[in-house]
């Protein structure tokens, strides 16, 4: 399923993104790995099996300009895209009363706009080739509101809604959209 397919993974410098990169490499995927932290995504590259075709990119997913330039670079370097894992994410803890507007904006920029930009940047290529899968990483907190997680809940509920709308819109196109809702996972997140 993944052999010789191009997989784009944001947030590939650690956690779920790194684990995805390692797993997809064993399946023979060609990997476009990005992270805001260049050193961490290069460390992911070093951990991949010998012979894996992979390129590391520095990417701030909250920047629309940067994300669309990233898509151009991936398409230039790989010629296509088959899977997009919109995985980059951040969290902060705080009650609504004690979470600043700037903190909400920061979290929404990465966790929601990053997913929207990743979807919009690669979807036209997938539709043109009538093949592809967009995998948006949400959370169990995209299914259930939780105290001190309002900013995170907002973004993950929105990712779920975006993905569910996309399911219907993509019917019959050869392109799929999937929302993943992990529970607690031991990462440096």
| Positions marked active-site | 152
**DSSP labels for 13-47?**
TSHHHHHHHHHHHHTT-EEEEEES-HHHHHHHHHH
Question: What DSSP designation does 62 have?
Answer: T
What the block records as the tokens of 29 is 């995927």
Output the CA angle 161-107-156, nearest 5 degrees. Answer: 25
Distance CA 168, CA 142 (A): 19
């Amino acid at each position: 399923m993944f052999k010789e397919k191009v997989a784009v993974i944001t947030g590939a410098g650690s956690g779920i993104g790194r684990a995805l990169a390692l797993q997809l490499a064993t399946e023979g995927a060609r990997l476009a790995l990005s992270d805001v932290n260049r050193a961490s995504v290069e460390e992911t590259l070093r951990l991949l099996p010998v012979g894996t075709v992979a390129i590391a990119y520095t990417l701030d997913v909250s920047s629309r300009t940067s994300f669309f330039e990233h898509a151009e670079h991936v398409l230039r370097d790989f010629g296509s895209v088959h899977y997009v894992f919109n995985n980059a994410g951040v969290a902060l803890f705080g009650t609504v009363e004690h979470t600043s507007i700037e903190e909400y904006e920061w979290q929404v920029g990465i966790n929601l706009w990053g997913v929207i930009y990743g979807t919009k940047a690669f979807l036209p290529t997938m539709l043109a080739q009538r093949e592809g899968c967009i995998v948006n990483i949400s959370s169990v907190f995209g299914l259930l509101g939780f105290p001190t997680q309002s900013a995170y809940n907002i973004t993950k509920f929105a990712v779920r809604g975006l993905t569910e709308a996309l399911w219907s819109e993509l019917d019959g196109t050869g392109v799929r959209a999937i929302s993943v809702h992990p529970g607690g996972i031991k990462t440096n997140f």
